[in-house]
Structure 1
Amino acid sequence: MTQDGRLIRGERTRAAVLDQALLLATVSGLDGLSLSQVADALGVSKSGLFAHWRSKEALQLAVIGHAREQWTARVVRPALESPPGVRRLWALHDHRLGFYESRVLPGGCFFANAHFEFNARPGVLRDRLATEQHDWMAFLIRVATEAVTVGDLRPGTDPGELAYVTESLGVCAVMQAPLLGDALTFGHARRALLDHLRPLTTTSFSELPT
């Protein structure tokens, strides 16, 4: 029981550290993240964090994984409750923008910020971020392909292009929101995807938001 209790406390500590590190990374950048910075923010000793991560890079990689888990919980899983097809694609876009609007992360989007930060910096972190981006785009393409397969979108619709448009609108919105305001940018991002989808939908499908 004592050992189990220690494991539980250890996992709680690890989760709390990663929550804080993720918040900090969206403001200071993933490269600016350090064990000392996280320890100071949590009011714990730096030495205590070494039980979980032996280096800055190990912490950074763990934060990327934690960000993916958060994204899955806040964006992907809620969207998957919508039926396969164009409604699911729309739900992904809508939940994504809602996640940004919630300000859970003070710096906007962890992944968008990190990609800009590391795109031109070869190494382990860039490779991991590239994998995450590849997985996300592959998922968007699968959802768009499903929408064609089930008959929601017209035959000949390019799922890759639709995934690109959806991703571009999300990234542009979260980057412009701090300067232009949430109502304007997220409103534009929602209307722009709806305007793009409506001409592609079949005549039998009319369940997009108005």
Structure 2
Amino acid sequence: MTGTATKGQRTRDAILTQAVATTVRVGLGGLTLGDLATCAGMSKSGLYAHFGSKEQLQLAVLDAAAEEFATTVVRPALRAPRGEPRIRDLVDRWLACGTGRGPGGCVIVKAGTELDDQPGPVRDRLRELHLELARTIARIVAGGVTEGQLRPDVDTAQFAFDLYGVMLAFFHTHRLLDDPHAEARARTAVDALLAAARTPSPETSETTR
């Protein structure tokens, strides 16, 4: 029994890996059970056995993409030292995701534009994923305040909003506009955010008096 369940899960995971990669190209709306079955070398009925409907497949793809993003970007960044090093590690990994190493983050970003005017369970799930990422960024920034690296009056939600905006602009500029300077511009923007939020050194405080 256990072996059968394990095999079934492995098959489902393999299908979702293919589905996430396909969604990067065609979007969630363009993902069909028939096309995915062909890519996965399965029958359409076999695919239905795993997901049941296109909506359930879309929800599973979002969850798989979010898990991939968490595994490659968020969780490793949380192992970095608290404060500015953790923020920079998050940005480094996020930028790497945007330049092609891991399609999960791309699915989450692209689906935001695709689904913003399409109410329903899939949009609701995507909305929660975006909100949770914003909350995670705010908590990471709050760690910088606690460590004394960032000013105590820093608005962590505003910082998260600004950083999220930088990353969305990076995805747009890098992937659609094919701007070779997209990553450098994103890093410059993050540097400016950190500089504005950083606790002044004693030397700087004395100079500005």
CA–CA separation in structure 2 for the residues paired with 1:32 and 1:200: 42
TM-score relative to the length of structure 2:
0.90
Corresponding position: 1:118 with 2:115 = yes
Q: Does structure 1 retain, via aligned residues, the 8 Å contact 2:24–2:106?
A: yes
| C-alpha distance in 1 between matches for 2:105 and 2:124 | 22
Structure 1 residues without counterparts, runs of 5 or longer: 206-210
Query: Which segments of 5 or more consecutive residues in structure 2 lack a partner in the other structure?
Result: 203-209
**Deviation at 1:133?**
1.1
Q: Is the 8 A contact 2:65 2:105 kept in 1?
A: no
Q: Deviations over 1:134-176 (max 9, x none)?
A: 1111111111112112211012111111111111111111111
Contact 1:84 1:146 in 2 (8 A): yes
Structure with the larger helix share: 2
Structure 2: distance between partners of 1:108 and 1:143: 19
How much does 1:58 deviate?
Answer: 0.6
Shift of 1:196: 2.0
TM-score by length of 1: 0.90
Measure the CA separation in 2 of the matches of 1:162 and 1:183.
26
Please tell me the root mean square deviation across aligned C-alpha atoms, in Å. 1.8
How many Å apart are 1:183 and its aligned residue?
A: 3.9
Asked if residue 16 in structure 1 is aligned to residue 26 in structure 2, the reply is no
Identity of aligned residues (%): 37
Alpha-carbon spacing, 1:124–1:161, altered in 2? closer, same or farther (3 Å): same
1:166 to 157, 163, 177: 163
Q: What is the number of residues matched between the two proteins? A: 202
- Structure 2 Cα separation of the partners of residues 78 and 184 of structure 1: 26
Determine if contact 1:26/1:108 at 8 Å carries over to the other structure: no
Contact 1:108 1:175 in 2 (8 A): no
What's 1:99 paired with? 97
* 1:27 and 2:38 aligned: no
Kept after mapping to 2: 8 A contact 1:34/1:56: yes
